[in-house]
Structure 1
Amino acid sequence: MHHARLVGVGNDIQGAIRSYPEAFLARTVIVCEGASEIGLIRGLDYFWVSNGSGSLQSASVAYIDSHGGEPDECFWPAKAFQALGYRVAILQDSDKPASANLVQEFGALGGYYVALRNAKALEDELFTSLPDAAVTALITRALELTEDGKVDAHIKTFGRQVESCEHSIRGDDCGLHRRVSRNSGRGVPDTKGRVVQV
């Protein structure tokens, strides 16, 4: 059975309708801080589907981009969807922490707040946590997608001891390019809506 109801005329609700119309067709909405978090969710979704699981869309989950900026900006679309009865999660890194009162209020209303641990950006967390082969694959892919020398130049800015990124990969010095890459690259929710360090 389907129900139609007035969603409201408040600025937050109307802003969410205009910015994220497709999300209103889902049951669950993941509000991502920015493009990096959207990419992470898309990548996980692709991985799960390619391994035989259903897609997030088939599970009535939408993910939306709150376009980065300040971490508190994630909360306005999240609160708008919460007010309409959606299950809502926020995914953001923690290089700039969100206001504690917003996190607490969101969780008290049943929201899931997922933040990366130890004041890390998503890129920091990936390069810190992934196995060596995955770090090498990420750097190799970055070399393929950018113009010659750009990745090397960026990594050398943070790690002057690296001869070159390509040399580092060929020499299998993954520990070194892991440390350098996480500095240059710039969660799982629990059932209580608390901050979960991933």
Structure 2
Amino acid sequence: MTTHSPVALRELSGNQLFIVRSEGDRHVVRPAGVADQVQSILRNDPEAFLAKSILVCEGASEIGLARGLDQYGVEDHNHTSFFAYGGAYVNAGGSTPDLCLEKALVLRRLGYNVTAFIDADKEPTPALLATLAAEGVGLLTWRAGRTLEDELFMCMTEAAIDSLLGYAIERIGRDDVAEHIRSKSQGQRTLEDIELEREEQGVYAAATRELLGRAARVKKSGWFKSVSAYQHVGRRIVGPQLQNAEPGFIDVMNRLWAWTHAA
């Protein structure tokens, strides 16, 4: 039997799934296999097996950001969506970059066009990185030591940070945002201090930006840690204000856009 239904795929075991591809003048049949990564994708992101190109993301944050940017391009600039190009997302679960890279490698070996999107606060295993590069898996990541939250608060404009702070307060409440700032600064800074700094100086100091990035990613209580929240960030904040961001951040976003919109 063949299927175009992710509902059917979700019920399968990896040893029941085979991918058929045309290669030159013949067809090749590859068993999906019984690796843990395969079974995890079948349960959580089965539509990936029906796609041509797959963005394997370290966690929900990266998926949300990519989806939001895609939505911004479709709705504001009439671009074709990643889904229309035959794309799909896989959520690696946000644990380690190696897990994300391993899932990307499994899908690549099944014949998919794959790029992995990871944070840079934890070093992936060098041998795994070398294997991915040799087998044609793309890699998107931030500058060394940085997470997505670091990049947002260190690289976006003052107006964008205003919007990020406002959205964080709207999502989780002013008290929790203030507590995260106080905790991550060891009691040296407050939300009110930061708002006053912005009002009086017209900018956020570099140290303030760095603090906000750390506060925004408090473990299990991150300001935007969900697909829907980061989709809003990508659609309403990053997309519309990207052109004025720091060049290194723009470069990563442009490479993400170029890969997800390659016909």
Counterpart of 2:53 (choices 16, 28, 36) is 28
Identify the residue that residue 46 of structure 1 maps to in structure 2. Answer: 71
Counterpart of 1:153 (choices 161, 179, 198) is 179
Q: Deviations over 1:53-108 (max 9, x none)?
A: 11110111111110011211112321221111101000011111111111110111
Unaligned 5+ runs, structure 1: 190-198
Measure the CA separation in 2 of the matches of 1:19 and 1:158.
Answer: 34
- Structure 1 residues 13 and 146 mapped into 2: Cα distance closer, same or farther (>3 Å)? closer
- Structure 1 residues 104 and 88 mapped into 2: Cα distance closer, same or farther (>3 Å)? same
Measure the CA separation in 1 of the matches of 2:94 and 2:202.
Answer: 33
For the residue of structure 2 that corresponds to 1:94, the secondary structure is coil
Shift in Å, 1:7: 2.9
Measure the CA separation in 1 of the matches of 2:165 and 2:134.
Answer: 40
Shift in Å, 1:40: 1.2
Whether the 8 Å contact between 2:181 and 2:191 is mirrored in structure 1 is: no
Counterpart of 2:126 (choices 88, 94, 100) is 100
Measure the CA separation in 1 of the matches of 2:116 and 2:96.
Answer: 14
Shift in Å, 1:41: 0.9
TM score, norm. by length of structure 1:
0.84
Measure the CA separation in 2 of the matches of 1:59 and 1:169.
Answer: 42
Identify the residue that residue 116 of structure 1 maps to in structure 2. Answer: 142
- Structure 1 residues 23 and 169 mapped into 2: Cα distance closer, same or farther (>3 Å)? same
Identify the residue that residue 175 of structure 1 maps to in structure 2. Answer: 204
1:91 aligns with 2:120: no
Shift in Å, 1:47: 1.2
Q: Deviations over 1:36-59 (max 9, x none)?
A: 111211211121112211111011
Identity, % of aligned pairs? 32
Count of residue pairs brought into register by the alignment: 188
Measure the CA separation in 2 of the matches of 1:15 and 1:146.
Answer: 30
Measure the CA separation in 2 of the matches of 1:60 and 1:168.
Answer: 46
Q: Which moved more, 1:28-37 or 1:168-177?
A: 168-177
Q: Which moved more, 1:99-108 or 1:70-79?
A: 70-79
Whether the 8 Å contact between 1:162 and 1:168 is mirrored in structure 2 is: no
Identify the residue that residue 97 of structure 2 maps to in structure 1. Answer: 71
TM score, norm. by length of structure 2:
0.65
Q: Which moved more, 1:118-127 or 1:44-53?
A: 44-53
For the residue of structure 2 that corresponds to 1:53, the secondary structure is coil
Measure the CA separation in 2 of the matches of 1:163 and 1:82.
Answer: 45
- Structure 1 residues 155 and 105 mapped into 2: Cα distance closer, same or farther (>3 Å)? same
